[in-house]
């Protein structure tokens, strides 16, 4: 079992940590699980391309040594600020919390945190987002401190979303119980009214 977990962790680490869904899975970890447990193809990570595919093959054969990989010409998102209407959609979509802004106010990219996943670009309702060259870092490298930070930010966002969902579920459950008790009290009152006649 420990061996399987180690293998899964190695497969996850072999992936670029963009959480971009281009492999058709929700995130890098889901794709790694599908490779290990459901015999999924190893060529679905578009950003990692052949370098990822080759490493995955070695990992599956149990013969891999970790290397450093890179996506050249790494781009980051940019907002045409005067066109942004502050709808907040991009904030919700960004897997690593790399966008800041308030409702109906201009939004901003935290350049240093954007991993270039492109998920926000298509979602902007006024088409004011684009990908531009990242002047301060020309390649996306993994594993690296930056890819680890990207992974950590993604899991923090995921944990927050799960927590919010659980809170909503509890509130809904409480509402249902309140509604049920209200109806039960009303039924009982009607029954008494009828018996007292």
Write out the residues near ligand SF4 by the rule CB under 6 A. Answer: 15-16, 18-23, 25, 27-28, 31, 45-48, 76-77, 79, 84-90, 93-94, 96, 98-99, 101, 107, 109, 114-120, 124, 126, 128-129
Question: What is each CA distance from 92 to 7, 24, 97, in whole angstroms?
Answer: 32, 19, 8
Query: Are the C-beta atoms of residues 140 and 148 closer than 8 Å to each other?
Result: no
Q: Which is nearer to ligand SF4, 70 or 191 (by Cβ)?
A: 70
Distance CA 74, CA 78 (A): 13
Rg (CA), the chain: 24
Question: Tokens 């409480």 — which residue?
Answer: 174
Closest to 95 measured CA to CA, from 32, 159, 140:
159
Q: Which is nearer to ligand SF4, 36 or 116 (by Cβ)?
A: 116
Q: Which is nearer to ligand SF4, 15 or 55 (by Cβ)?
A: 15
Minimum CB distance to ligand SF4, residue 55 (Å) = 12
Minimum CB distance to ligand SF4, residue 22 (Å) = 4
Minimum CB distance to ligand SF4, residue 162 (Å) = 19
Q: Which is nearer to ligand SF4, 64 or 191 (by Cβ)?
A: 64
Question: What is each CA distance from 31 to 131, 146, 165, in whole angstroms?
Answer: 25, 21, 23
Minimum CB distance to ligand SF4, residue 169 (Å) = 27
Q: Which is nearer to ligand SF4, 103 or 168 (by Cβ)?
A: 103
Minimum CB distance to ligand SF4, residue 188 (Å) = 51
Distance CA 118, CA 140 (A): 14
């Amino acid at each position: 079992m420990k061996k399987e977990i180690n293998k899964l962790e190695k497969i996850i680490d072999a992936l670029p940590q963009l959480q971009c869904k281009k492999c058709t899975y929700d995130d890098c970890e889901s794709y790694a699980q599908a490779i290990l447990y459901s015999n999924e193809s190893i060529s679905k990570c578009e950003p990692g391309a052949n370098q990822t595919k080759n490493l995955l093959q070695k990992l599956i054969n149990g013969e891999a040594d970790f290397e450093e990989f890179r996506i050249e010409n790494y781009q980051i998102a940019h907002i045409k600020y005067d066109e942004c209407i502050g709808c907040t959609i991009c904030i919700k979509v960004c897997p690593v919390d790399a966008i800041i802004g308030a409702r109906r106010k201009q939004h901003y990219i935290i350049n240093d945190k954007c991993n270039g996943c492109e998920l926000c670009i298509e979602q902007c309702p006024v088409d004011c987002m684009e990908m531009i060259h990242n002047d301060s870092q020309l390649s996306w490298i993994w594993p690296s401190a930056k890819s680890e930070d990207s992974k950590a930010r993604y899991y923090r966002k995921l944990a927050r979303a799960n927590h919010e969902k659980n809170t909503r579920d509890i509130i809904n459950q409480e509402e249902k119980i309140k509604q049920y008790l209200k109806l039960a009290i009303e039924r009982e009152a009607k029954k008494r009214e009828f018996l007292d006649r």
